[in-house]
Amino acid sequence: MARVHAAEYATLLGQDEQRLRRRPAPEVWSPLEYACHVRDVLLAQRERVLLARRADAPALEPMGRDERVEHDGYNDQQPSDVARQLTDAALLFANVLDRLTPPDWNRTVIYNFPDRQERPLHWLALHTLHELRHHLLDIRRQLET
């Protein structure tokens, strides 16, 4: 499913750059910033799955989602680069999920969102899919207005 959503993001990132970089309000990310965030979520979640396979119930560090917008210059990146990177990140994430055995899906991590709690990898995968869908809707809404 991550691969399918990545293709949808790539299509949306082919639109007018000015619209992709426009924030509807100062506190709301632009479509391009949302796409960069999703790319980084996929990469972070991939590393978290790999960590859970080699350590028992590791405590995960927050990814610094808000800080990354500025620190990585999300809105200054090229949409075509982000589309390619997001597609690659989805492939990398899907690959580690495809390699999980039935017992691996129940391995756990200490996750910080929405509250600090031990979560199985099947929850992490579903949560990540929710993030992809949710932000895809955010981008579509912004580009429709």
Which pLDDT belongs to residue 145?
82
Asked if the model's pLDDT at residue 12 lies above 90, the reply is yes
Give 44-111 as a 3 state SS string.
Answer: HHHHHHHHHHHCCCCECCCCCHHHHHHHCCHHHCCHHHHHHHHHHHHHHHHHHHHCCCCCHHHCEEEE
Single-letter amino acid code for the residue at 79: P
Which pLDDT belongs to residue 13?
98
Which pLDDT belongs to residue 116?
94
Residues 110 and 57: beta-carbon distance below 8 Å: yes
**Per-residue pLDDT tens over the stretch 79-115:** 999 999 999 999 999 999 999 999 999 999 999 988 9
Helix axes 121-144 and 2-12, enclosed angle (nearest 10): 20
Asked if the model's pLDDT at residue 117 lies above 90, the reply is yes
